Each structure stands twice: as C-alpha cells, then as structure tokens.
C-alpha cells in the first residue's frame, strides 16, 4: 500500500483553502464551513452502510473513497491532515489492546 496518493491529495486539498469558492468542489466546501463538511461526512458514511449491505464490492470501495475524501477535507478544515491519522494508526501498531487514547480529550 502506498501513502503517496494520500499525500498528493492532502496537498491538493490544502491548496484549495486559497482558491475561489466557485473554482472547485473542495474550495466551495471549505467556504461553506463546518456544518456543510460534517454533513457530507455523515452522508458518505450512510452511503458506505448502504453499499456494504448491497453486496457490490466495487460500490463499497467507491463509497469508502468518498468517505475518506470528505474526512480529509474535514481534517484539513481543522488544521490536520491524513498524515496525523496515519501517525495515530502507526502508534496503535505498537500498542496491545488499543486502550490508550493518546491526545484525546
């Protein structure tokens, strides 16, 4: 598995913060703010649920990609990135039981 795609996409999403809202989907979503971004994340999570139930594996991959993408937009909006999540997953590889919640309030 390669993280190159996630890194490139993170860079593109980050760059959209300085773009005019009408110039791109991500720029428009940033301009709408928190609630609009969170709504997309919830909407895509629901679509993942439906895809998981319909038995079409490619459909599931498609909807999870939508969910990951919108989660990345949310992270960027909050000053974070996919890299922060990858670091947390890497940290968990070394923790048995995953009971530690480092950094959680």
Binding residues for ligand PRT, rule: CB under 6 A, are: 9, 12, 16, 24-27, 40, 66, 69
Distance in Å, CB of 84 to ligand PRT, minimum: 18
Choose between 24 and 71: whose C-beta lies nearer to ligand PRT. 24
Angle (nearest 5°) at CA 33 between 25 and 9: 45
Question: Using an 8 Å Cβ cutoff, are 41 and 15 in contact?
Answer: no
Question: Using an 8 Å Cβ cutoff, are 36 and 42 in contact?
Answer: no
Choose between 7 and 24: whose C-beta lies nearer to ligand PRT. 24
Choose between 8 and 57: whose C-beta lies nearer to ligand PRT. 8
């Amino acid at each position: 598995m390669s993280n190159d795609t996630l890194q490139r996409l993170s860079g593109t999403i980050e760059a959209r913060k300085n773009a005019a809202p009408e110039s791109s989907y991500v720029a428009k979503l940033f301009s709408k703010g928190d609630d609009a971004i969170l709504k997309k994340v919830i909407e895509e999570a629901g679509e993942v649920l439906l895809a998981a139930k319909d038995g079409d594996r490619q459909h599931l991959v498609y909807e999870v990609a939508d969910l990951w993408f919108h989660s990345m937009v949310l992270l960027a909006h909050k000053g974070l990135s996919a890299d922060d999540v990858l670091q947390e997953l890497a940290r968990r590889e070394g923790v048995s039981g995953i009971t530690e919640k480092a950094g959680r309030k």
